[in-house]
Structure 1
Amino acid sequence: MRKQIGVTKYWLSQTIGLLALTLFVCCYLIVTPSFAQTKVPLLFGENRNEKGELNPIPERFTSIFAAIEKDHNIQFSLQIYPWNRAVKIASTEGGLIFGLSLTPERAEIFRFSEPVVYQYLWLVTRADQQFPFNTIEDLKGKTIGVVRGSKYGGEFDRLKNVLFKTDDDIDAYGPRLKKLQNRRIDAMIFASPLTNHKEVEALIKTIKIPQENETDLSAHQVTRFSVLPIPVLKDGIRFALLKGKNDKLISDIDRTLSKLSKLNAKQKGRKRDQ
């Protein structure tokens, strides 16, 4: 009997000890934070709809941000500004920026990542005011609607307001389509990852144009838009940081982009084999 009592006390003490240890570990996991991620401010240009509301960041970008964060134990802290202001902050204060096009002038001060995605810059016109476009020279005498502060390639930027005029506006398609509808501009630049101009036309049909009255509404109903078949530019969208600020960060980003590119190539290969 005493032996049984002793065994019972032994197992009871072991059980209590195990419960105490489990409770301690649970409390430790709750109270003690995991290894802290390094927070990295990331400048991003705002994009607003026709009501002036911020559009959500496209999933094709956020998924890449998440992959970089996971690979390098960092956490992006998004800082969303009008594009011109975001570029100015990156140029003067040295913050990491996403969405910057590589130009000769910018290459002198920024270190760029490899392209994250490619955007095609399409020319949108009224359907009844199309014109032939093969080279920048075909824009002679035209007025082209662009996003204020954006760059569209060395040749386009060099010849704007020389060979042709630009109309700078906010990064919202609705107001610029309205200018096109009212013949205040001859064409506007429309950035899209889509590679077929007819698919871009279909997308443009879904964009709401701000209307002030019934006359505006009826005008919109009869206005059709066309996308010219040849894009102005195939533009690589990249991360960028002032040279010498944090070269390792750009190298880390490039490693993740390379890995994602290889995974994407494998997936495409598997789909072709199926």
Structure 2
Amino acid sequence: MTGLLLAAALACAGPARAASAPKVPLLIGDTLDEQGKPRPMPAVKRKVLDAVAQELGVTFEPRTYPWARAERHALNGEALVFGLPKTADRLRALHYSDPATHNSLWVVTRSDATFPFNGLEDLRGKTISTVRGYSYGPEFDAARGKLFRTDDDISSRGTRLTRLMLKRVDAVLLFQPEGLTAKDLENSIRLFMAPRLPAIGAAANAGFSVLPKPLITDSGQFFAIARDRDDGIIDRINLALARIHKREEDARRQHAPN
């Protein structure tokens, strides 16, 4: 459902019609386990998508692909896409929404192999674990293969952190929702990897450390659609996001201490 069909669905939809809400295909990048099998959508992402869908009076129908394939389908105008980072080429082909949510991008190392980090220059000569087909911003992408090399892998946190513990890479890049700290992410990784460490064996002789300064401090996640398929869809999504963000801000103010 694209272009006029999707716009028509959004035009006739509304929160009161939730029981018969039109289904809207939505392209997203997959999240995999160590065997390459799909993992459930992260709760933070599900919360955002559910809120926007409810506001629009539709039901998003996720279609998960590796990022490179999701991008190809989006550029072909097959559906909305969520979470595809902005690049100069994509901005020419896709119309992006306002930010739906924000993340920070953190650098994770073995606890016995940390290093001072203030910016990309500090990654010189290192091997960095990244998700295949994903963009980490124009500066990072321009430095790939020049300042440092990247180890592009499937979108599996367990696989990538295991490769870090095995010293196959020097660092792993992981996103963390806005408002959560490096220590929060470190604790999350520790709990996530605890049942996996016995299978790693003797190499699991260190912990995980999240370097105290993020690589990117405000990485927005956006909806986007091919420009020649946008018949007001992004504007409707922007209005929905504005209402959601206003309610969240009002709730924060209401519960803030006097």
Question: Shared fold (TM-score greater than 0.5)?
Answer: yes
Q: Which stretches in structure 1 are left out of the alignment for 5+ residues?
A: 1-32
Letter paired with 2:141: D
Residue 103 in structure 1 maps to residue 78 in structure 2: no
Give 1:50 shift: 3.1
1:77-103 deviations in whole A, cap 9, x for unaligned?
A: 221122221112112244211111122
User: Which residue in the other structure is 2:38 paired with?
Assistant: 54
- Count, aligned residues: 240
Q: Is the 8 A contact 2:83 2:222 kept in 1?
A: yes
User: Which residue in the other structure is 2:224 paired with?
Assistant: 240
User: Which residue in the other structure is 1:204 paired with?
Assistant: 189
Corresponding residue SS for 1:231: coil
Q: Distance in 1 between matches of 2:84 and 2:45?
A: 13
1:107-126 deviations in whole A, cap 9, x for unaligned?
A: 11111111111111110111
Among all aligned residue pairs of Structure 1 and Structure 2, give the percentage whose two residues are the same amino acid. Answer: 35
Q: Is the 8 A contact 1:174 1:209 kept in 2?
A: no
Alignment of 1:82-121 (within 5 A): 82-121=66-105
Corresponding residue SS for 2:46: helix
1:149-169 deviations in whole A, cap 9, x for unaligned?
A: 000011001111111100000
Q: Distance in 1 between matches of 2:124 and 2:231?
A: 41
Structure of greater Rg: 1
The correspondence for 1:185, drawn from 159, 169, 178, is: 169
Give 1:133 shift: 1.0
The correspondence for 1:265, drawn from 249, 253, 257, is: 249
Q: Normalised by the size of structure 1, how large is the TM-score? A: 0.80
User: Which residue in the other structure is 1:9 paired with?
Assistant: none
What is the aligned-residue RMSD (CA, Å)? 2.3
Q: Is the 8 A contact 2:66 2:133 kept in 1?
A: no
Give 1:231 shift: 0.8
Residue 130 in structure 1 maps to residue 111 in structure 2: no
Q: Which stretches in structure 2 are left out of the alignment for 5+ residues?
A: 1-16
User: Which residue in the other structure is 1:72 paired with?
Assistant: 56
Q: Distance in 1 between matches of 2:137 and 2:99?
A: 15
